[in-house]
Amino acid sequence: MAAFRLFFLLSLATIISPSFSRSLSQSPTPTPNQNQSLAATLPAPKPGPIESNARNYTKVCDRARFADIGLDMDDFTYCDMSLPYEVRVEDLIGRMTLAEKVAQLGDRAGGVGRIGLANYRWWSEALHGVSDVGHATYFGDIVTGATSFPTPILTAASFNESLWLSIGQVTSTEARAMYNLGHSGLTFWSPNINLVRDPRWGRALETPGEDPFMAGRYAVNFVRGMQDVEGSEVAKDMNSRPLKTSACCKHYAAYDVDNWFFHERYSFDARVTEQDMVETFVRPFEMCVREGDASSIMCSYNLVNGIPVCADARLMSQTIRNDWQFNGYIVSDCDSVAVMVENVKWLSDTAEDAVAQVMKAGLDLDCGYPKDPYYETYTLSAVAQGKVREADIDNALKNLYMVLMRVGFFDSLLAYESLGVMDVCTNGNIELATDAARQGMVLLKNNLTLPLDAKKLGLVALVGPHVQTTKTMIGNYAGVPCRYTSPFDAITKEVKVDYKQGCRNVACTSQDGIVRAVNAAKTANATIIIAGLDLGVEAESLDRSNLLLPGFQAKLINDVADASKGPVVLVILSGGGVDISFAQNHPKIGAIIWAGYPGEEGGQAISDVIFGHYNPGGRLPLTWYKNDYVDIIPMISMKLRPIDELGYPGRTYKFFNGTVLYPFGYGLSYTTFEYSKLNYETSSITININSTQYCKPLSMKPNATAPHCPAVDITSLPCDEEITFDVEVANTGNMDGSEVVQVYFKPPPEVADAPLKQLVAFQRVFVPSKGRSKLSFSLDACKALTLVEKTAYVVVPLGKSTIVIGNGDGEISFSVDVKLQI
């Protein structure tokens, strides 16, 4: 009898699996609690052979599925596709008891079998390809892998918005195919768009870098690629448009300390000025919501100015949902609610108090890992204690199930029903991953060393702990890649090598292997050293204490370079910047390439750049500082602007007033480019206002005289002024290549405490050797020329601002005189 009961329950589980499209043999082993929940909420199957119930379904509202569980789909209004989503969701929620509602508030929603509602696992990840992190996605049997792109920090270095969009589109196609096969969910908690405020942060590899505008553009494109259904990119009611998959911008907000000495992310209180909050920390999220139409936001563990973010109604419901007109659900970083009670002990709250706080602040979904979600465990008692209203629960469920309606969980989406295993790891997808790595590679130094001519080289010494790296290339939040091409695999196809590792691993705690690497360099015609960091040095929950290469890596590089017979090429794998001043200054190290964590085909991309099959055009998305930076300013100082009284030099290219190793936006090429303007030597714009209420004060430098109306608040001011100009890019060298044209805004020189400059536009363009290409730019003046004042008002300063085209040598500029008409 016991055996029969077990067989019955296992067969029943095949009716609706976590994505309810898996057969029993494909499903990951459920935990006992999950089995109990499933058995408790599903009705008994129809009489007849048990095998007749073992079918796969990709949507809730499938007549055959309802029949299989003994229900008639016509009895359930929420399955009526002729009705608006909102009406259907209202019907669905209205059918649940309070206990059933609460069971849907965690990331492993239990479903309600008596009304035909399937369970759902919300947590999937797709940071740079479909990941195996989370409860909903797994690899095995028919889906052995998915395309693993470079980590975002390297992809961002391409400065190529169309590439970011394409990666999102390919990732969502593979995700949708995996969902059809029962291997994935439809809701992906990616991308990570936090900013790299401090170079020690361990999660730099996951992000688009340090600039809020660039991070915002990355978010917009990646999210659009993940979500947009062709033909439905815009709708009168954006909450009704279908979604290919759901994307989530995280971690909101001011989250960039993981584990630095005695400061860890679970209890860190980010003391942030309103100016920095508006100008830097929340701007990428605002762009993600307003321009990308993201359907999810994740709130972070940390506190901001004494309040846990997930419990801050001003940051959550007021800002995200009301001010930004957000259409979607807000989810906690996993165990954030538990952290409030058990780690932070905020306000000495009970578990029920914490549930009430976050739900009223706007948190819709509670991710619990490794703990059980607080919502599922304590919401019923919070209601019983009068701390939570059932209407609050209904509102959270509405936000959740509106998104599941839009992604086709209930009805499927016809355009994607045919996707399957043949749409995962295609040759085209793998080539896109390779090209993304190539486009992101940054040439940091080149003394006429690269590209190497493989036909003339003969023997090459191949040295370093990353020569045969594979898993390190895909970083964190990765899945199982389609395949790996290591640097060794690719380089040995080009030349004969003498491989000596030098260091057994990245930690490089022993010098024993260095002498063998030195001897190899003595006899080879060229030496390639591949070194850097890995997830044992920089990662989630692991910030760095310095910016140096680990162990004896620097000695390995110096000793090998000193002994080398031929030219030396150094390749660095890392997410954050590394102080390699010694290599930059070493006369025998002729070239340095930063390769980030380049994804599954990273070795091929590195080889293509070294041997001239590809001309590098990447630019650094974050500043590389010298190691003395870590002795000047503590990681926990959140202020972006310099603090002169403490000797703090400021942060990021916008405010740092010291000397850097490599600046933001830096990168070399195998060719040379020149810019010329085709119009606009100078320009002026006039902003019309009908009241001085739009005038705001502006911080001015000493001895500067402020006009009667020094700046205009543009938050609610209609403004359609544009700055248009064309730039011609000439390739004056002998090799085809891509150039990244960066456009910066410099505020009027009399303004105090303003950014040194800030990025307002960029385009990547391919230009053949001796060729020319024209780029057109159109800047919204009331976005491009803005400053955030100390009062946190977003203003356009009056006077002469400067538009700078380029970054460093060869840059050109013109002034824009902003005038006022009252």
Helix (H, G, I), strand (E, B) or coil at 84: coil
Of 356, 296, 357, 299, give the one whose Cα is nearest residue 333. 299
Handedness of CA 261, 262, 267, 273 (dihedral sign): negative
Helix (H, G, I), strand (E, B) or coil at 80: coil
Report the distance separating Cα 307 and Cα 52, nearest Å. 54
Domains of the chain in start order, with CATH, are 81-407 (3.20.20.300), 439-650 (3.40.50.1700), 673-820 (2.60.40.10)
Confidence (pLDDT) at 780: 94
Report the distance separating Cα 802 and Cα 754, nearest Å. 13
CA 420 to chain CA centroid, Å, is: 26
Report the distance separating Cα 509 and Cα 217, nearest Å. 41
CA angle 736, 742, 743 (to 5 degrees): 145
Of 283, 387, 297, 377, give the one whose Cα is nearest residue 337. 377
pTM of the model: 0.93
Neighbours of 82 (CB within 10 A): 6
Percent helix, strand, coil in the chain (nearest 5)? 35, 20, 45
Confidence (pLDDT) at 1: 37
Cβ 747 vs Cβ 754: under 8 Å: yes
Low-confidence ranges of the chain (pLDDT < 70): 1-54, 681-682
AA identity, residue 73 = M
DSSP 8-state assignment for residue 550: S
Confidence (pLDDT) at 198: 98
Report the distance separating Cα 190 and Cα 250, nearest Å. 7
Report the distance separating Cα 133 and Cα 272, nearest Å. 31
Helix (H, G, I), strand (E, B) or coil at 660: coil
Cβ 250 vs Cβ 126: under 8 Å: no
Q: What is the CA radius of gyration of the chain?
A: 28
- Give me the helix-helix angle, 390-406 and 85-94, nearest 10°: 130
Catalytic site residue from 68, 256, 333, 559: 333
Please say if 333 is a catalytic residue.
yes
In the numeric block, which tokens belong to residue 68?
């299989």
Residues 6+ apart with CB under 8 A from 533: 506, 549, 550, 573, 574, 575, 576, 578
Report the distance separating Cα 160 and Cα 167, nearest Å. 11
In the numeric block, which tokens belong to residue 624?
């590389």
Confidence (pLDDT) at 682: 61
DSSP 8-state assignment for residue 644: G
DSSP 8-state assignment for residue 648: B
How does strand 787-788 pair with strand 772-780?
unpaired
Report the distance separating Cα 54 and Cα 15, nearest Å. 6
Number of H helices, E strands in the chain: 24, 29
